[in-house]
Structure 1
């Protein structure tokens, strides 16, 4: 597992969610009760950005439909999401935040709903 320096500690204040990149992986990073948490940035319900969500006492709240994900396991605590999000190990050292990314975690975090699943089909070419 490789740890990526993604931010200065001060860039992740208490109660705030921010988006960062660890290599190619988009990560939602938050701080709750002084602890930094890193999760995949896409809700497993409809791919909404978790970095636009909110920190709650229970977990990370998706702003689109209200799903809440456990900080430690990524498990959904409140519907409509039913599948967990990817959670990454975090280290905070010397005033910087590092997120651990393995090939397996990166693959899981980048797996999203089918990109065309929410789009209308293109018009047919026949008249």
Structure 2
């Protein structure tokens, strides 16, 4: 696994969530109780940006429809989301934040709901 330096520690203060990039992977970084958390930036319900959400005691709250995701596992703790978001290993050293990303995590993080459910053409007419 390769760790990518994606932010300075001061860019993610307590109670804040922000969007950063590790190559093509969009990451929502948040800090809760002094600990840094990193997860995919897209809610698994309707692809809303988790970086627009809020840090709560329970997990990261999506601002669109109220789903809350566990910081450590990415599991949804509140509906409407039913699938977990991708969580990345993260470390903070020397005033910088590093996120671990390998091919599998990158692929999972970039897989988005809208792309899976969007119809490319109208349904075929039935007779």
Confirm or deny a common fold (TM above 0.5). Answer: yes
Which residue of 2 is the match for residue 111 of structure 1? 111
Q: By how many angstroms is 1:24 displaced?
A: 1.1
Q: What do the CA deviations read for 1:27-65 (whole angstroms, capped 9, x no partner)?
A: 000000000000000000000000000000000000000
**Residue in 1 aligned with 2:37?**
37
Aligned counterpart, 1:25: 25
Paired residues in the alignment total 122
Task: State whether residues 68 and 78 of structure 2, in contact with CA within 8 Å, keep that contact through their aligned partners in structure 1.
Answer: yes
Which blocks of at least 5 consecutive residues in structure 1 are unaligned?
123-127
- Structure 2 gap segments, 5+ residues each: 123-127
RMSD between aligned alpha carbons? Answer: 1.6
Aligned: 1:74 with 2:74: yes
The residue number in structure 2 matching 1:54 is 54
Greater than 4 Å deviation, 4+ residue runs: 116-122
SS state at 2:18 partner: strand
CA distance in 2, matches of 1:91, 1:83: 25
Write the deviation string for residues 96-117 of structure 1: whole angstroms up to 9, x where unpaired: 0000001000000000013384
